[in-house]
A and B are shown apart, each in its own frame.
Chain A
Amino acid sequence: MKNFRRTIFYIVMTAFCFVWIYPFLWMVSASFKSQNEFFENGLSLIPDNFTFENILRAWNEANFEQYFVNSVVITVGTMLIVFFTTSTCGYVLGRYNFKGKKSVYLLLIASMFVPMEFAIIPIYDLIKTMGLMNTRLGVILAESGGNHIIFILLFATFFSKIPKELEEAAIMDGSGFFRTFISVMLPLSKPVIGSVMIMQFIWSWNSFLLPLILTLNAPEARPLSVGLYALRGENIVDWTGIAAGGTIAIIPIIVIFLSLQRYFVEGIAGSVKG
């Protein structure tokens, strides 16, 4: 009976997942189709004639060898900064009471709602004044300055629930504020770190407008996403090229996802006990 139920569950889940990822599979298959077949064959997943042209074109267009390194630098740099700032901020907001805490919350949350479509001009000016135009550092900083309140809140709720004893034990061992945070608190927050890292990775990896504008004069500092965007023109759209670009750019994301997602299966209870 139990086996039967399990089988049914797997069948249903598999069917659901297939429908669910169908568009993704279609994108992957479209990267091996000719532009003509892209429209002709509609929903079919198997290309009539496999072609690697799209992948090659996307590869060259995106300047893959060069831009990939940029993408990694920018994304990793941003991830580190964001991880550092949001975890520290979330830690004190979640665990401590201090004057002005409410105002900080309010400020951060209210700013979430402001559409930042026009923020580009002041950010450009700022980076320019800092002399970081056309450098990857400029892009990293601007990206890290994006709105990460959600991460802060995730950390804050998480830290607020950690039992006081752990902290007190650490203090008893002579740990200061900073060391308690680094060596006791932070390691506990792995599930949150996992989701923060995954989400930040996706955002930075795909971020387009900011890097484009901040590297306007320095194509050599551009990330992959900017290169790939060149495939999407004003009047002429290279669909199969976009699909191929999407397929290439997705691989690192999936790798990151797979490697970080194990954080979601290890319980906090386990680490507390361990």
Chain B
Amino acid sequence: MKKKFKGIGIFLMALLILQVFAACSNSTSSEDDEKTSDSKDTEERITLRVMDWADSEKVYREQFIEDFEKRHPNIKIEYTLLTSDQFQSTITTAIKSGDAPDLFPIPPGMKLGTAVAGDWYQPLDEYLDDEFKNRFMDGVFVEGLTMQDGKTYTIPAKLDLPNTLVFYNKQLFRDAGLDPENPPKTHTEFAEAAKKITEASDGNAYGIIEGSKTIVRWKNPIVDWSALGGSGLNPHSPLSLVSNEADYTSEPVLEVMNLFQGMMEDGSYHPKTLNISAPEARALFGQGQAGFIIQGEWCIGVWQNENPELDFGVMAPPVPDSGQEGFLPRPNFQPWLGMAKTSEHPEAAALYLKEYYSKDYQSVLVKAGDRFTMLKDVNETAAEIPQFKQYYDIAMENSRLAPSVEIRNPEASVVFGNYKDPQPGLGDILQGVMAGALEDPTDQLEMLSENVNTSLEQALEAAKAEGAEVSIDDFKFSNWKPNQDYTAEDYEAVR
């Protein structure tokens, strides 16, 4: 008995010793930290905390931070990269208890008005001069998006273009006897091309690949591509710009669904499509395993790094066989980075913003094929990768700026704050169709339209109850024309 007893004893002792030892090293190290931070304080070395989920930028950002700290030895940057889920689960508590990072972005789906009402941010105007603001394109600093009551609170991350252009593998095109310089233009041509690629590659590659587990990769193509057919769907409002109602059963929507469903029946989709998420689909496309993928510009940088051999092109989304009835909806700038109201180092934070949104650093991102910047003239001069330039041209040519409800009426942010996203959404339904779980999506789509209408009504009522001056008319843009950008004058005309 004693012997075994000893065994446990030794083990426990070992643990204890480890613990004590570790605790010692712990306390000494923290004392050290304090000491050093004390001594830093005397030199006024401050720590600036930045938090976001811009992971595609990570490598460049780390370099940027290193350079920044070299240029400003009195500032230490503590950068925390999270996923947006993690960010959402931490930020409220952090803000509430005064632990908010100095610079942090607005979570996806939240409008500026809600954040400002929650006392998240402080106005940046005091710290950022006109020279800074003049670096940006028109439309970045707009009331309702990035500004409220004439004060600037946030700066967008990038120039948002439609992220549903089609990348295609030129080598697979050639192997299938297709002309890589003349990609398909209509739904039928697109489906045909995908089929040919599948047939020609004998199981080594397939016509198209998507990441089915990432629901938004089903939703975005439906919204954008159906807009080409005149559905009036857009990312800024739950209502169709054409019918001014939540309308997910319109002909153009069904056409796009049928296109994808048909391609699935053809066997054109990569068999892994249903089992993977977007990053995996991108990697497999990079491996040359699929002819097409519907994605955004950020993929170009990834392939450039990971698959330098990949010979790919960019093309506009195919239009319905009956012809084009509209354009891709181009989103407005989205609010992103802001300075915490509780920030103790606003000057340093402003300095960070100035250098982060400098031509030098933004050019790095554009050059790397990570994103398009909203600084003036940089996209044109800095882009190096040919496909990246093409992406810009094709996206601009095929899209029109969509109207934004909160630019028209900034108080609409209260409506969005109260809006409850009905589930299953458009992306879920398409996923169900593709997986063969839904034979006929019409019922689901009708239900969705109904639910969205109800949800919006309820959100409007709730917003009114909170004292916001809003009405359903804010969501209806009578002077919107499918073939034109919705401009400042247009907003003026309906206000």
Contacts and interface: CB of A to CB of B under 8 A. Distances in A.
A233 B5 CA distance: 47
Contact of B19 (A77, A125, A219, A273): A77
B33 interface: yes
B49 A217 contact: yes
Interface string A169-193: 0000000000000000011001001
A193 B90 CA distance: 35
A237 B8 CA distance: 43
A40 interface: yes
Contacts of A128: 97
B244 to A, nearest CB: 34
A124 B265 CA distance: 51
B19 A236 contact: no
B90 A212 contact: yes
B396 interface: no
B8 A190 contact: yes
A70 B367 CA distance: 39
Contacts of A80: 15-16, 19
Interface in B1-58: 1-5, 7-8, 11, 15-16, 18-19, 22-23, 25-26, 29-30, 33, 49, 53, 55-56, 58
Contacts of A216: 80, 90, 94, 99
Interface string A183-205: 00011001001000000000000
A235 B278 CA distance: 8
Contacts of A40: 287
Contacts of A121: 92-93
A76 B8 contact: no
A233 B4 contact: no
Contacts of B22: 69, 72-73, 76
A136 B92 contact: no
B136 interface: no
B4 A209 contact: no
A122 to B, nearest CB: 9
B19 A234 contact: no
Contact of A36 (B8, B29, B80, B287): B287
Given A124-B93, A190-B4, A216-B99, A233 B18 contact: no
Interface in A43-101: 69, 72-73, 76-77, 79-80
B302 interface: yes
A236 B58 contact: yes
A213 B56 contact: no
Chain B CB within 10 A, most for which of A36, A40, A216: A216
A259 B53 CA distance: 40
Given A72-B22, A121-B92, A233-B83, A220 B5 contact: no
Given A136-B26, A233-B58, A120 B89 contact: yes
Contacts of A259: 11
B394 interface: no
Interface residues of B, number: 48
A132 B92 CA distance: 19
Contacts of A10: none
Given A36-B287, A213-B93, A237-B279, A72 B18 contact: yes
A213 B307 CA distance: 36
B65 interface: no
A108 interface: no
A39 B15 contact: no
Interface in A211-230: 212-213, 216-217, 219-220, 230
Contacts of A36: 286-287, 306-307
Contacts of A235: 55-56, 278-279, 298
Contacts of B19: 73, 76-77, 80
Interface string B268-288: 000000000011100110110
B15 A79 contact: yes
B26 A73 contact: yes
B55 A236 contact: yes
21 contacts: A36-B306, A39-B284, A69-B25, A73-B19, A73-B26, A76-B18, A79-B15, A124-B97, A128-B97, A133-B99, A187-B4, A190-B4, A190-B7, A216-B90, A216-B94, A219-B78, A220-B29, A233-B56, A233-B83, A234-B53, A236-B279
Please provide the 5 A-B residue pairs with the shortest distance between their CB atoms, ordered closest to farther.
A233-B55, A274-B1, A73-B22, A237-B279, A124-B93
Interface of A: 35-36, 38-40, 69, 72-73, 76-77, 79-80, 120-121, 124-125, 128, 133, 136, 186-187, 190, 193, 209, 212-213, 216-217, 219-220, 230, 232-237, 239, 259, 266, 270-274
Given A36-B306, A73-B22, 10 more contacts: A73-B23, A133-B99, A193-B8, A212-B90, A213-B90, A216-B80, A216-B99, A234-B55, A259-B11, A274-B2
